[in-house]
Structure 1
Amino acid sequence: MAAVVLAMGAMLILHKREPHKDRPPASSAWLLGPVTKEKPFVNSLGMKFVPVPIQGGPSDGQLVLFSVWDTRVEDYEAYHQEIKTPWMKPDFQQGPTHPAVNVSWTNATLFCQWLTLRELAAHRLTTGWCYRLPSDHEWSCAVGIGEREDAAKLPMEKDRKLTDAFPWGTQWPPPARAGNFAGEELQPVKAAGKYAWIKNPLVGYRDNFVETAPVGSFLANRFGLFDLGGNVVEWCGDFADERRSARVLRGASWHTSERGDLLSSRRYSTQPISIYDSTSFRCVIASSER
């Protein structure tokens, strides 16, 4: 059985495996039952998902399960190998548990659609549920500022409007193990002539990773989510502004050192086909009927 998926002008033909005849479909109770921070839902790729309460926006009060970390190299490699989509690797070394970078919004969205069909066919997902990118407001809820923002406003209208909240709390500079930022570990590399465009590494902060770090290397937040600040910037599903051309990104990365860029309310916008060595994505599981 083949399914055709269209996204941003790209066509993807997915060959969907037939369900196992001797295995009944998973029920919604099986999927959505005892999923907690302590007992996450684990999919067939080993990605872990925990619930995040959503206040406001189209998914207000609905169950949304967030991946505890960004999509890893090993997760995206499975998609890349099956679909044969182009994927340019960064010019630094990454292991299988590092976040997959150089992934556009378009391919992040196609990955979610591929994963939905894969999990449905394997009875790891119930009909009526899907993998997708989080909305900008859902991401705000995950980082702990959702109740302080107007869900009806466009993402770039809210860029850096909250000046006292960071993914780790209110403390500045960031405390130890807050995340993978452009810290003092960059100084020897910059002295050798690399990453000269990173002007001011964080003084007094060292995370020991010059580029990306394995996911889960730093402290999780209260929902059990890692790397909402640092490591990589994350694509969200929304358009960034009223022009409806660019997509919004959230968070900070191994490039980041400026206080304003580390705020929980920081937004970036760029074209959906753009790729960067500091950008990845995080999946959520949610109702497909919103």
Structure 2
Amino acid sequence: MKRIKVLSLGIVAAIAATSLAFVEKPAKPITPARPIVKKVAICCESNIPKRFPSLTVSVTSALPTVKSHSGMVWISGGSYAMGADNKQAADDEYPKHRVSVKGFWMDVSEVTNAQFENFVKATGYVTIAQRKPDWNELKKQLPPGTPKPADDVLVAASLVFKQPKGAVPLNDYSQWWDWKKGADWKHPHGPGSDIKGKENFPVVHISWFDAVAYCKWAGKRLPTEAEWEWAARGGRDGNVYPWGNEPVDEGKAKANTWQGDFPNINTVKDKFFYTAPTRSFAANGYGLYDMAGNVWEWCADYYRNDYYKTTTRVGGIADPKGPADSYDPAEPYTKKRVIRGGSFLCNDSYCSGYRVARRMKSTEDSGMEHLGFRCVADNK
């Protein structure tokens, strides 16, 4: 499998020995509300090869709609301090601020392969990972003069995890991510793999557009970032993890994460190398499973690195829906949405994505082997 080289703006631009770099300047300066600690924030979701930036995908209103609260739990509304909880916090988790949310229904677990298969059978929906990208549409979203990627890149494909044989630099994501033709929700590891016997595993290789389409069919929606964090905390305001404050690798396994040295050594203390069946670990205080680890989960909100700095309103904010637009200074040309919860690839030495306050982001059309979703619904 050829290794992907990626532009800083997040698209596949060349393969193997061919490389291309762009020097990008942020569209506008970011003025932080607190001193920034100079540190490199890296994660299994940091600067990885995004599929392609901001494809426009329509979600038809003609999709059949199923409305049911089966498999969901009611999360009562309330107020809490949203944001950074410990020294691992990244700059975009500051400042900690007060928010309140109304009550809502939430899926007790991530959407499974069986549930997504029912949706596909009912609607004929084809996910983004199963579609060949259109370069004429892609180049409209890129800086003038961006060269066309090679033809063997512009294929229906997605990103799969590949364990390196030895230690590798943690800032070189190409050491453990492969752009694999034929990888999609039905073939999570690429051609030759399938989901037989994995009906209760979380569906993966799901883009934000795919998740929205499923939610629409199910009569639900994606959670806001504030709703997601409130639910993940499980009534434990101020704690670091959904289960409390005990470090992830102390005591019994509490979530599906990476134990050992990422990305080459996994001791599999939690008994799972890749994804785990939903409900494999104890639920949090609200009865929700896998709010930490297993797969990252899409939220409805746009991602802005400086969003929390605009939320310091006296008395807090009621039902925040996120910023009006997207901005990531690392990739200012790409439109991103928030993802939460961490995945089976997260480790304290590299990611700590399973912290309830941890924020991550990805382009709307990105689908990966460790990215899924769950739904919420209003009390109607």
TM-score computed with the length of structure 2 as normaliser: 0.51
Which of 241, 254, 257 is residue 178 of structure 1 equivalent to? 254
Are the structure 2 counterparts of residues 273 and 15 from structure 1 closer, same or farther at C-alpha, using a change threshold of 3 Å? closer
Partner Cα separation in structure 2 for residue 248 and residue 174 of structure 1 = 28
Q: Which residue of 1 aligns with 2:109?
A: 69
Q: Which residue of 1 aligns with 2:340?
A: 250
- Alignment pair present for 1:165 and 2:255: no
Partner Cα separation in structure 1 for residue 293 and residue 205 of structure 2 = 16
| 8 Å Cα contact 2:234-2:285 kept in structure 1 | no
- Structure 1 residue identity aligned to 2:212: T
Partner Cα separation in structure 2 for residue 145 and residue 221 of structure 1 = 5
Which of 256, 277, 282 is residue 369 of structure 2 equivalent to? 277
Structure with the higher helix share, 1 or 2: 1
Partner Cα separation in structure 2 for residue 264 and residue 62 of structure 1 = 19
Partner Cα separation in structure 1 for residue 356 and residue 79 of structure 2 = 17
Q: What does the per-residue CA deviation read over 1:61-91, in whole Å, with 9 as the maximum and x for residues that have no partner? A: 5220111100111111111122222242311
Give the superposition deviation at 1:110: 1.0
Q: Which residue of 2 aligns with 1:98?
A: 201
| 8 Å Cα contact 1:166-1:263 kept in structure 2 | yes
Partner Cα separation in structure 1 for residue 299 and residue 286 of structure 2 = 19
- Alignment pair present for 1:48 and 2:111: no
| 8 Å Cα contact 2:64-2:123 kept in structure 1 | no
Are the structure 2 counterparts of residues 76 and 52 from structure 1 closer, same or farther at C-alpha, using a change threshold of 3 Å? farther
Are the structure 2 counterparts of residues 250 and 52 from structure 1 closer, same or farther at C-alpha, using a change threshold of 3 Å? farther
Q: Which residue of 1 aligns with 2:310?
A: none
Partner Cα separation in structure 2 for residue 61 and residue 233 of structure 1 = 22
Are the structure 2 counterparts of residues 272 and 287 from structure 1 closer, same or farther at C-alpha, using a change threshold of 3 Å? farther
Mapping 1:8-19, distance limit 5 Å: 8-12=56-60, 14=62, 16=64
Partner Cα separation in structure 2 for residue 257 and residue 287 of structure 1 = 36
Runs of 4+ that moved beyond 4 A: 145-148
CA RMSD of aligned residues (A): 3.1
Partner Cα separation in structure 2 for residue 49 and residue 282 of structure 1 = 12
Q: Percent identity of the aligned residues?
A: 24
- Structure 1 residue identity aligned to 2:113: V
Give the superposition deviation at 1:258: 2.2
Q: What does the per-residue CA deviation read over 1:103-135, in whole Å, with 9 as the maximum and x for residues that have no partner? A: 11111011111111xxxxxxxxxxxxxx11110
Partner Cα separation in structure 1 for residue 354 and residue 101 of structure 2 = 28
- Alignment pair present for 1:224 and 2:252: no
Are the structure 2 counterparts of residues 15 and 224 from structure 1 closer, same or farther at C-alpha, using a change threshold of 3 Å? closer
Match of 1:252, SS state, is: coil
- Alignment pair present for 1:136 and 2:235: no
Partner Cα separation in structure 1 for residue 201 and residue 374 of structure 2 = 13
Q: How many residues are paired up?
A: 216
Are the structure 2 counterparts of residues 238 and 147 from structure 1 closer, same or farther at C-alpha, using a change threshold of 3 Å? farther
Give the superposition deviation at 1:169: 1.3
| 8 Å Cα contact 1:52-1:223 kept in structure 2 | no
Partner Cα separation in structure 2 for residue 254 and residue 283 of structure 1 = 20
Q: What does the per-residue CA deviation read over 1:1-53, in whole Å, with 9 as the maximum and x for residues that have no partner? A: xxxxxx95414253658x9xxxxxx9xxxx8xxxxxxxxx41xxxx3333243
Which of 255, 260, 263 is residue 198 of structure 1 equivalent to? 263
- Structure 2 residue identity aligned to 1:100: V
- Structure 1 residue identity aligned to 2:303: A
Q: Which residue of 2 aligns with 1:79?
A: 119
Partner Cα separation in structure 2 for residue 240 and residue 215 of structure 1 = 27
| 8 Å Cα contact 1:97-1:214 kept in structure 2 | yes
- Structure 1 residue identity aligned to 2:366: S
Partner Cα separation in structure 2 for residue 145 and residue 51 of structure 1 = 9
Which of 274, 287, 291 is residue 211 of structure 1 equivalent to? 274
Partner Cα separation in structure 2 for residue 61 and residue 11 of structure 1 = 27
Match of 2:242, SS state, is: coil
Are the structure 2 counterparts of residues 16 and 270 from structure 1 closer, same or farther at C-alpha, using a change threshold of 3 Å? closer
